[in-house]
Structures are given as structure tokens and as C-alpha cells.
């Protein structure tokens, strides 16, 4: 198993945001976490990413215990998270945003060389911009991008850290249906063509049902159901608690 949690919990005072959840992600899998508002999706995500310390339980990456490693350390190991709120440098170009992120992975950095001399780094940044379909916008300031394009850039910044696992937190939040459908295609492409293992927290059911290999349904901090999109959408308990909520853009 590439990534797994063993009865992981996170309590905020008396609130059991995540309560004894077993999560698994296989190599190359695209797994979504869904559930009603307050179900614990983002908290579980943050436990995996190293944003939160676990109250109980363990998190393993390739059988290594990574429970309570910091976000910085999990990122170094190959688990990279994007944010619900975009984290970009608005006054740098699209290209510079990705190159800086790629540079953070370059351990052979030499202070006395100009950044432009890192041709391999520049090529990598351009490759990534092509993958996230922003190559033609590379010279624009990030601040001039549309909301949807900024989310793509954010994914590009995450890809530049060379992740093995990409954690996407509501990537389509605030997008129009047209942007949402394109974003779903992009996520699917990263998973199928780049063989990237992906964990997705997402409210849009057409995205979740359309691209996930498996879905974990949380409710009140606990696992309500887990299975393929068909298994989960046929589950009566899931239908009662969750399905039908949220937006749904169909392709
Ligand atoms: P949403 O779909 O609304 O984003 P979610 O499923 O991601 O919800 P979480 O954000 O993980 O749910 O929250 C789970 C529970 O934990 C909620 O009751 C929330 O109010 C609580 N919670 C989350 N973060 C904190 C925090 N930092 N301090 C206190 N309570 C928190």
C-alpha cells in the first residue's frame, strides 16, 4: 500500500473531526474523499499531509510511519498538497511560479549561478506548464489569470515538487461548470498518463463519480462507506446522508 492510515483520529477539544479512520491509497490510484459538510474530509486530508498532529492512530507512506511529520517533511518524501485557497505569487509570471517550486526540489542549487542558467529546471517548468495547459500563458503575471487558470497553476506548482502522491483539496471550488469539466479531465490525465497517485477532496459529484477509482465516504468523522463510484452511489446509507448535496456539472 502506498499510503494508509491506521485508525487515525483528530479531536479539536470535544469535536471528533476524524475518529478512527482507516484510509488506503494504492500506487496509481485516484481516490476521492466525500461526505457532508463537517464530515472530516479536510481534517483527514490534513492529517495525511502533515498539517495536523494526530490525536490517535498512525499514518504510513510506503510502510514508513509518517504520523506527525511536518508538511515540509511529507512534501520532501513525495506527498504534496494543494490548497482550497490558492497559494501563488501574483506578481511573478506563471513560468516563474512553477520554476521557483521546481527549484525548491533542486538540491544542487548554487547561489552564484543565475537562476536562468538552470536550463534543466527551466525545461522542467515548461513541461509542467504544458501538462497543466498554461504554456501559452507562461509570460503573464499570475495575477492576470482567471480563477480556473490559477487553480491549474496551483496544480502545476504542486507538480514541480515531483510528488508521488498529489493531494487535491476541492480543486474545482469556485469554477464554472465548463472549467470544472476541464479540470476533471486534467486530473484524470495526471492520474492515467503521469501515473500520479491522487487523493481528491471534492464536492462536485459528477467529477467524483466520473474520475475516481474508489471513493471513501465520511460522516461525522467516521467511515460511512468505501468502494467504486457505482458501489458508493448504490449504497442506500450514502444516498440518505450525502448524495444529492452539492453541485454537479455533467460533461
Ligand atoms: P466541508 O465540506 O464543510 O469543508 P469537511 O468534511 O472538510 O467539511 P472538516 O473541515 O474536516 O470537515 O471539519 C470536521 C469538523 O471539525 C467540523 O465540525 C469542523 O467544525 C471541525 N473543525 C475543523 N477544523 C477545526 C479546527 N481547526 N478547530 C476546531 N474545529 C475544527
Q: What is the per-residue pLDDT for 250? A: 63
Q: Which pLDDT value is given to residue 76? A: 87
Question: Are 171 and 74 in the same domain?
Answer: yes
Enumerate residue ranges in the chain where pLDDT < 70. 83-86, 106-118, 244-248, 250-251
Report the pLDDT value the prediction gives residue 112, as an integer from 0 to 100.
52
Specify the pLDDT at position 232: 95
Q: How many domains does the chain have?
A: 2
Indicate which residue's Cα is closest to atom 26 of ligand 1: 12
Query: 102 and 184 in one domain?
Result: no
Report how far ligand 1's centroid is from the alpha carbon of 17 (Å): 6
The pLDDT score that the predictor gives to residue 113 is 58
Task: Determine the pLDDT at residue 245.
Answer: 62
Cα→Cα distances 110→7, 103, 118, Å = 44, 11, 10
d(CA 48, CA 233): 25
117 plus 195 within the same structural domain: no
Q: Which tens digit of pLDDT belongs to each residue from 102-116? A: 887 765 555 555 555
> Which residue has the least CA distance to atom 1 on ligand 1?
37
Residue of 11, 40, 241 to test ligand 1 pocket, by largest number of atoms within 8 Å of CB = 40
Separation between Cα atoms, residue 245 and residue 34, nearest integer Å: 11
Question: Do 107 and 7 belong together in one domain?
Answer: no
pLDDT at site 244: 62
Cα 205 from chain centroid (whole Å):
16
Single out the residue in 162, 196, 219 at which a domain terminates: 162
User: Both 115 and 234 in a single domain?
Assistant: no
pTM: 0.91
The confidence score (pLDDT) of residue 134 equals 96
- Domain residues for the domain of 72 are 1-78+164-251
Q: Are residues 181 and 65 in the same domain?
A: yes
Domain CATH number, residue 4: 3.40.50.300
Residue at a domain's end among 111, 142, 162: 162
Amino acid at each position: 500500500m502506498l499510503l494508509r492510515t491506521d485508525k487515525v483520529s483528530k479531536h479539536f477539544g470535544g469535536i471528533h473531526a476524524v475518529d478512527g479512520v482507516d484510509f488506503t491509497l494504492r500506487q496509481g490510484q485516484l481516490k476521492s474523499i466525500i461526505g457532508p459538510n463537517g464530515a472530516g474530509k479536510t481534517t483527514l486530508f490534513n492529517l495525511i499531509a502533515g498539517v495536523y498532529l494526530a490525536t490517535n492512530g498512525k499514518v504510513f507512506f510506503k510502510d514508513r510511519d509518517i504520523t506527525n511529520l511536518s508538511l515540509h517533511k511529507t512534501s520532501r518524501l513525495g506527498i504534496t498538497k494543494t490548497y482550497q485557497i490558492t497559494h501563488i505569487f501574483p506578481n511573478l509570471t506563471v513560468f516563474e511560479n512553477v520554476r521557483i517550486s521546481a527549484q525548491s526540489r533542486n538540491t544542487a542549487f548554487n547561489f552564484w549561478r543565475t537562476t536562468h542558467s538552470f536550463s534543466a529546471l527551466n525545461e522542467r517548468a515548461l513541461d509542467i506548464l504544458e501538462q497543466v495547459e498554461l504554456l501559452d500563458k507562461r509570460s503573464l503575471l499570475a495575477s492576470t489569470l482567471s480563477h480556473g487558470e490559477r487553480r491549474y497553476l496551483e496544480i502545476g506548482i504542486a507538480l514541480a515538487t515531483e510528488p508521488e502522491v498529489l493531494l487535491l483539496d476541492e480543486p474545482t471550488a469556485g469554477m464554472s461548470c465548463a472549467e470544472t469539466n476541464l479540470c476533471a479531465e486534467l486530473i484524470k490525465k495526471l492520474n492515467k498518463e503521469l501515473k500520479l497517485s491522487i487523493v481528491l477532496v471534492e464536492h462536485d459529484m459528477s467529477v467524483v463519480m466520473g474520475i475516481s477509482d474508489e471513493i471513501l465516504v465520511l460522516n461525522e468523522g467516521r467511515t460511512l462507506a468505501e468502494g467504486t463510484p457505482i458501489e458508493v452511489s448504490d449504497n442506500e446509507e450514502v444516498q440518505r446522508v450525502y448524495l444529492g448535496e452539492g453541485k454537479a456539472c455533467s460533461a
